[in-house]
Amino acid sequence: MTPHPALHAGIKQILPHQMTTAGPVLGEGRGSDAFFDALDHVIDVHGHIIGMGLSPDNRYLYVNSRAWPPGSVVADPMQPPPIAEEIDLLVFDLKTMREVKRALRAHRAYTPNDECFFIFLDVSRDFVASGAEDRHGYIWDRHYNICLAKLRHEDVVNSVAFSPQEQELLLTASDDATIKAWRSPRIVRVLQAPHPRPRPFFSWFASHRR
């Protein structure tokens, strides 16, 4: 998947037998007209793409996009119309190549279209998370499309990542020069719950002697 500088996400399917390290790398040995492979599908989001992420099963594509005004036409990709401050988190089914559900909203960005940058997102089995320029990271429930948490920093949150071992542990990276680790309330309760002290073996043995 590759984001167009302004408005498109290009989809290229790579089959297992095509995944090899043999042969040219990054276009080496190709002619100038064949530097990039042909795309299998193009998704038009009618806005500026600033982040993408796949669901763990590779079925759904999540796209951070800042929309253009309704009805606007882009004649020159290098001179697009003004973009919205709201970030839309769009969801596409890569099996049908259709947008599914409604856009997730809550996070914001303020840079103009000639200065905007990637806001990385991540997707776990049940959640999707994203950074934002409003000094917060965000977590949504993938199934119910509701915002679950707003995670504060002191500057732009550029990137987020779920733990591959525990989806209720999230890292956020910010321009405030910090990386924060966030646990869900459930995990915090589990970690803070008192644990019974194990009884020494000989004490147990003595209490069970006849």
Asked if pLDDT for residue 205 goes beyond 60, the answer is no
Predicted confidence at residue 13, as pLDDT, reads: 64
Task: Give the residue among 205, 116, 189 at the shortest CA–CA distance from 156.
Answer: 116
Task: Give the residue among 66, 102, 71 at the shortest CA–CA distance from 85.
Answer: 66
Q: How far apart are the first and last CA of the chain?
A: 71
39 band by pLDDT with thresholds 50, 70 and 90: confident
pTM of this prediction? 0.73
Q: Give SS3 for 155.
A: coil
Predicted confidence at residue 46, as pLDDT, reads: 83
Task: Give the residue among 108, 103, 97, 104 at the shortest CA–CA distance from 131.
Answer: 108
Listed in order, strand segments (DSSP E) in 55-156 are 60-67, 88-93, 98-99, 121-123, 127-130, 136-141, 147-152
pLDDT tens-digit readout, 71-106: 777 777 777 788 888 888 999 999 999 998 777 877
Cα distance between residue 155 and residue 177, in whole Å: 9
Q: What is the average pLDDT value for the chain, to the nearest integer?
A: 81
Please answer whether residues 48 and 12 qualify as being in contact, where contact means their C-beta atoms are separated by less than 8 angstroms: no
Predicted confidence at residue 111, as pLDDT, reads: 80
Per the DSSP assignment, residues forming a β-bridge with 61 are: 54, 92
Please answer whether residues 92 and 100 qualify as being in contact, where contact means their C-beta atoms are separated by less than 8 angstroms: yes
Asked if pLDDT for residue 123 goes beyond 90, the answer is yes
Asked if pLDDT for residue 40 goes beyond 80, the answer is yes
As a residue count, the chain comes to: 210
Helix (H) or strand (E) holding 42: strand 41-44
Which domains does the chain possess? 2-10+41-207 (2.130.10.10)
